[in-house]
Amino acid sequence: MRAASLARYFPAEGIRLDVLTARNASAVGTDTALLKEIPAEVAIHRIVTLDLPFCIKKWIKRLIAGSKSPAGQTASPAAGGKPNLLKTIVGNVLLPDPQVTWLPVVTRAARRIIRRRKIDLVLITVPPFSSVLLVERLRKEFPCLAIVVDFRDEWLSTTFDLVSFLFSRSERARKVAKNAEASAVTNATAIVTVTEAARQKICSRYPQQSDSKFYLIPNGFDSTTLRRSASSPELRHDGKIVVTYVGTVYAATEPTMLVQALQSLPAEFKRRLRLLFIGHIEEPRFREALLQLGEMVELKGFLPQREALAAMDETDYVLLINHDPLNVGGKFYDYVGGGKPILGALHPEGETRRLFEELRAGWWASNHDVEGIRQLFVDAVGRGDLLARQFQPDREKIAQYERKVLAQRYASLLHSIAGKQRESSSQSPPVRHVEMGE
């Protein structure tokens, strides 16, 4: 959504944009309706990737890890030693992630587009983190080209351990990741992050690089797709309190403590609560944990954005789980942009918690505090029609995170970078152009 919002708003900021992307990208789900938001003047170049379909990658991952049986039973390895063979292949070839198979194709396409379209600046948005390998390849061929790497997630400190699309977390995989990031940072013109904590963390790893090379452009929400609620819906005739989670459930948002907290509620509170989970659930154990909540929970699966936002608009609260101290989930901005009060189970020292309090986004408890999370829901049920008076978000600060506003800031930054690069290379093209690879 970050890349799509830039593509939507950059043309109005004096940027002629070429987008280089995969024709057959592996994904949990697709929402082609979002393409209608991209201006017609944006040139989209689609190339084939050798990346495996999402369902096949999940199957391979299960074979590598061994399927986890319910009730803690030990899974038997697959016959013939195939998991070991697969683990060896994946662990030693598909590094730093399975999307590395796209690299040879995207490199050739990028070189061709840069020359043909007279590109002034390349913006590489990651993950997939293997895309950072493109930086060194382009730098060798285009020494004066402005190259910006946009880290939507901090990689080495948190994502490496928390996100399961990385098939291997071996020492070799970590070394490859460190080398890939170091090469990208060294060869890039600028690095952009989405949180200040991530900017500082990446910057601290490269003291030989100037601090001025690292920038912050946060994520945001699109006010044109959200209906901002001024208050909660009217009390339902059945007395239910609806709490909705939108987004993928994975290691960084795993719901174990939430489930324990909800299971400990008195029966009368359980009868009042209805939890909706909209989005892909990454691992069977997370699904099994949520299903332990019985009639309290409904798992809706992946929905197109329009349907997900409509469901969010009809809820009393939205649910946020974040165990990551550096990265802020994109859903957080849609939540605050939609004006919905958040119930958060958050890393107490994390960037999400800091922003949560700054924007007065709702109520939170520590992600490992079962009793604190339990009390969140007790208070939510007891708040009733007082919610509208008690929930007072800082709408002025929230407005700073509208995507159009952020895209204008980003465009200004790219104009500046391209201009400085042009001056340093003694080139003066009449118009700045940008290619964005994802």
Q: Answer yes or no: do 245 and 166 share one domain.
A: no
**What are the start-end ranges of the E strands in 234-361?**
241-246, 273-278, 297-301, 317-322, 342-346
pLDDT-based confidence at residue 165 (cuts at 50, 70, 90): very low
Q: Is residue 249 part of a domain?
A: yes
The domain of 32 spans 2-220+402-437
Beta sheet of 121-126, edge-to-edge order: 43-47, 16-22, 433-437, 121-126, 146-151, 190-193, 214-216
Higher pLDDT, 60 or 261: 261
Per-residue pLDDT tens for 324-339?
888 898 889 999 999 9
Half-sphere exposure of 59 (CA within 13 A, CB side): 6
Q: Give the model's pLDDT for residue 162.
A: 64
pLDDT for res 398: 95
Q: What average pLDDT does the segment 224-251 reach?
A: 73
Q: Residues with Cβ < 8 Å from 325, sequence gap 6 or more?
A: 158, 197, 347, 349, 350, 351
Residues 247, 193 share a domain: no
Number of independent structural domains in the chain: 2
Residues 273 and 136 in one domain: no
Q: Is residue 236 part of a domain?
A: no
Question: Per the structure block, which two tokens stand in for 139?
Answer: 């730098």
Residue 45 parent element (H or E): strand 43-47
Mean pLDDT across the stretch 50-74? 53
pLDDT reported for residue 369: 96
Q: Which helix (H) or strand (E) covers residue 366, if one does?
A: strand 362-366
Confidence of residue 67 (pLDDT cuts 50, 70, 90): very low
Same domain, 192 and 95: yes
198 and 280 together in one domain: no
Among the residue ranges 21-35, 217-231, 345-359, the one predicted with the least confidence is: 217-231
Q: Say whether both 349 and 280 belong to one domain.
A: yes
CATH assignment at residue 429: 3.40.50.2000
